[in-house]
Amino acid sequence: MSKMISPQEALIYVMVTMSAVDRSMDDVELQKIGQLVKSLPAFGDFNVEQLVAASQACGENLAGENGLDDTLDMIRDALPERLRETAYAMAVEVAAADLHVEQEELRFLQLLRDHLDLDKLAVAAIERSARARFTQI
């Protein structure tokens, strides 16, 4: 049985897992995570000083025997339905932060949307919005 985490911790787990899935947590992705935690309403009552502890707990969970599956289950169980699209949008933001999306990141997005049972049209809109925001001249 997985331990319970808060909805805010679940959102952090989504972003940390996205950053770590390609085995390279670069500074741009870490800065994006910090920026999202500091600016989004979903983190309004979250103590930013807990970000490092939540990130470390996520890393420890990912290192377990069934790390990715257990982490995805914990995320799903902690998120109310109204925050599931938000979680996916945060994952897309972190993936796009370095302007290059690896195959492992695409696979994680697929696993995340399946675990969260997201609507295909909502997923397409979130992804299209990120492409528009991150397009370079």
Task: Give the separation between CA 46 and CA 123, rounded to whole angstroms.
Answer: 26
Residue 113 lies in a domain: yes
The torsion angles phi and psi of 46, rounded to 5 degrees, stand at -90, 135
**Mean pLDDT over each residue of the chain, to the nearest integer:** 93
Q: What percent of the chain has pLDDT over 70?
A: 99
| 30 touches 72 (CB < 8 A) | no
Q: Output the domain CATH number for residue 91.
A: 1.10.3680
pLDDT for 79: 97
pLDDT digit string, tens, across residues 22-44: 887 888 888 999 999 999 999 99
Residue 111 lies in a domain: yes
Residue 20 lies in a domain: yes
pLDDT for 2: 61
pLDDT for 68: 94
Q: Specify the number of domains making up the chain.
A: 1
The answer to whether residue 96 scores a pLDDT higher than 80 is yes
Task: Give the separation between CA 85 and CA 60, rounded to whole angstroms.
Answer: 25
Residue 1 lies in a domain: no
Q: Write down how long the chain is.
A: 137
pLDDT digit string, tens, across residues 98-128: 888 889 999 999 999 999 999 999 999 999 9
Residue 78 pLDDT grade (very low, low, confident, very high; cuts 50, 70, 90): very high
Q: If we measure between CA atoms, which residue out of 80, 62, 110, 103 comes closest to residue 11?
A: 80
Residue 109 lies in a domain: yes
Q: What is the pTM of this model?
A: 0.93
17 by DSSP, 3-state: which?
Answer: helix
**The domain containing residue 117 runs over which residues?**
7-134
Average pLDDT of span 12-16? 97
Task: Give the separation between CA 77 and CA 122, rounded to whole angstroms.
Answer: 20
The answer to whether residue 1 scores a pLDDT higher than 60 is no
Residue 16 lies in a domain: yes
